[in-house]
Structure 1
């Protein structure tokens, strides 16, 4: 994909058949982002002002929740979170949210802490729905600007597997190892691709298949060209788009039906028996870079299938997608820069897609 930003191109110079949602100028898009921010404040305020009323935007509270969070202001909604399979009355919390966009499924989660690595692999084991490798996309460095953004939860050497010890806080007897099978650099994605193997068992009597060992293959894609709160620039942008394609290919995603339309209907997002395991996507907090990556994966798939060619003038698929994600996890696509980036990338992608079509015809 070309490096030149479509935002630097005059909107009046764009082709007449470019959908209206990709013709919006910067002030209009900033207004849309502020609209999403206001919606988010209203959702969170609704629960704060009416704590006795059950709300789909309810937030979890308590020390048993707070110490497992990386950031005090980012957590999943109580009604849309991954729950660890633990014994009754034990803490099932992990800072992770299932994200459903049409038939595509993801898990957006914070970068593991040193105290939550075992919980992360518990989640991975229980949420993997088939025998194919689970794909994990990591969009942060372990440290940025002198601060830890994510604990190094994977082995770098085949000689030093990562041990997972039973966690007394969970009482599920989960234990195992994470082994590095192979590692390679992918220059087109500017990422490190690690093939990991998780071997685990539940040694607790609370679990079925007591004591049996299981294995799970993991494809771990580490991309470090994306600064926190910002967007990838230059060749890192091209690499990130290649990373989206690679992660989708490794995950063998369900096809998006040509009948899919916008606004998104969350009722059609239920997984089917043929749906692959959700891609696990995380940065540091699991909202900004993670949300932007997920939105682009979904929108670019629609673009490739021609579903964005005849979008009504009063529909904005990008706005609808971000809003749909924020209903499932707060702050998804966290910054204004990331929101504008979605339009910039999608505009360029639309132009290049149709330029290729013209060349073929």
Structure 2
């Protein structure tokens, strides 16, 4: 991609130490966003023109998955999707994609529908480690502008648990109940923290024993669809990134090394092995921006953005890497530019703190 190497003016002192990828002007960044948009169109066009060709961008098709999607134009790639553990010949589909960035693992998924809530909890039980709570980050209201963005898939009171009934379309015997253990408001993150407990059993459960999974559910509603959080909501969202990481205890990026997107080739086990479950409504715009910030800010805090070559752009590379795993991640131009704004401010704050130390 040919883009102008243009820099924004910087103030004397700390700001002048910004690496080149954080000094690009708006027009250059808009060109870069258009570039990754074109890449996405080319990938999908290749699939439409060659439907028999299996590539990393192959899209799923068929009526057996359409009714499980919230939006007709947002679905996971065929070779990078979460598959539910169901009996052979039954529908294993859920609109969810594993996302691997370096050693960190996430699942980006759509906001559950009333008809997919049971499948969502199946996924939580299946994809997270049994000895640690699952961490779910919800970045949307249930309704915006008069439209449902996400079904209220969690109980709001301790007196009204959510029942999960067996699904004949899956034939896995999964049934259970979701209880609300406690709920509190986190002022710093401007989010509601719910501690849930999933009790369930399935056809594979030994001796018909009920199993349980604790869930930490973080609901943040200060982020409008297609947009970015503003003012205090912006600071709260960044606190939410840190809080969700603290609860999830993900594998940290290496310290003092160069920025790297190399992902582990296998599902990790042990401490920090459970992916963070992140969703908004479609599971691509706000979810992708949140995941990118978590990964990039981890690299910033570990000192891995100190010596990025002038011809490299970790933000662009991160977004492109996510879009190879799930379409439309960081969906809007505003969200793409927001990543640069946040990293630029975080960089300056970090170096001001370092300079102020005795």
Confirm or deny a common fold (TM above 0.5).
Answer: yes
Q: What's 1:11 paired with?
A: 9
Gaps spanning 5+ residues in structure 1: where? Answer: 1-8
Instruction: Give the match's secondary structure for 2:10.
Output: helix
Q: Does 1:285 align with 2:282?
A: yes
Find the counterpart in structure 2 of residue 93 from structure 1. Answer: 93
> Which secondary structure does the structure 2 equivalent of 1:16 belong to?
helix
Output one character per residue of 1:138-160: Cα deviation in whole Å (capped at 9) or x when no partner. Answer: 00000000000000000000000
What corresponds to 1:358 in structure 2? 355
Provide the secondary structure at the position in 1 that maps to 2:17.
coil
Which residue matches 2:3? none
Of residues 236, 251, 255 in structure 2, which corresponds to 1:254? Answer: 251
Give the secondary structure class of the aligned counterpart of 2:183: strand
Is the Cα contact below 8 Å between 1:134 and 1:218 reproduced in 2?
Answer: yes
What CA distance in whole angstroms lies between the structure 2 residues aligned with 1:304 and 1:69? 37
The reply on whether 1:230 has 2:227 as its aligned counterpart is yes
Equivalence for 1:337: 334
Indicate which of 233, 236, 240 corresponds to 1:239: 236
Pick the aligned partner of 2:308 from 307, 311, 320: 311
Q: Distance in 1 between matches of 2:254 and 2:52?
A: 41
Match of 1:201 in 2: 201
CA contact under 8 A between 1:262 and 1:315: conserved in structure 2?
A: no
1:259–1:352 CA distance, 2 compared to 1 (3 A):
closer
What is the correspondence of 1:1-361 to structure 2 with a 5 Å cutoff? 11-13=9-11, 15-202=15-202, 204=203, 207-209=204-206, 211-258=208-255, 260-262=257-259, 264-266=261-263, 268=264, 270-274=266-270, 275-361=272-358
Number of equivalent positions: 349
Residue in 2 that maps onto 1:5? none
**Secondary structure, aligned partner of 1:35:** helix
Q: Which runs of 4+ in 1 moved over 6 A?
A: none
Counterparts of 1:276 and 1:250, CA distance in 2: 12
* CA offsets 1:275-296 (integer angstroms, 9 cap, x no match): 4210000000000000000000
1:36 and 1:134 map into 2 onto residues whose CA distance is 32
Given that 2:259 and 2:299 are in contact with CA atoms closer than 8 Å, whether structure 1 keeps it comes out as no
**Superposition RMSD on alpha carbons, in Å?**
1.4
Equivalent residue number for residue 4 of structure 2: none
Q: 1:129: Cα distance to partner?
A: 2.1
8 A Cα contact 1:251 1:279, kept in partner: yes
Instruction: Tell me the alpha carbon deviations over residues 174-221 of structure 1, each in whole angstroms, 9 at most, x when there is no partner.
Output: 00000000000001000000000000001x3xx252522101000000
CA distance in 2, matches of 1:236, 1:243: 10
Q: Distance in 1 between matches of 2:261 and 2:35?
A: 18
1:4 is matched with none
- SS of 1:13's equivalent? coil
1:112-141 CA-partner distances (Å, limit 9, x unpaired): 000000000000000012411110000000
Q: TM-score, normalised by structure 2?
A: 0.95
Q: By how many angstroms is 1:359 displaced? A: 1.1
- Alpha-carbon contact 1:86-1:171 (below 8 Å) kept: yes
Q: Secondary structure at the match of 2:64?
A: helix
In 1, are the aligned partners of 2:122 and 2:174 still within 8 Å (CA)? yes
Residues in 1 aligned to 2:315 and 2:249: alpha-carbon distance in whole angstroms: 24
2:299 & 2:266 partners in 1: Cα distance?
A: 18
CA shift for structure 1 position 270: 3.5
User: Which secondary structure state, in structure 2, belongs to the residue aligned with residue 323 of structure 1?
Assistant: helix
CA pair 187-212 structure 1, distance change in 2 beyond 3 A = same
Question: Aligned partners of 2:117, 2:261: CA distance in 1, in Å?
Answer: 34
After superposition, the Cα gap between the structure-2 partners of 1:175 and 1:130, relative to the gap in structure 1 and judged at 3 Å, is: closer
SS of 1:156's equivalent in the other structure is coil
Q: CA 1:130–1:276 in 2, change beyond 3 Å: closer, same or farther?
A: farther
- Unpaired stretches in structure 2, ≥5 consecutive residues: 1-6
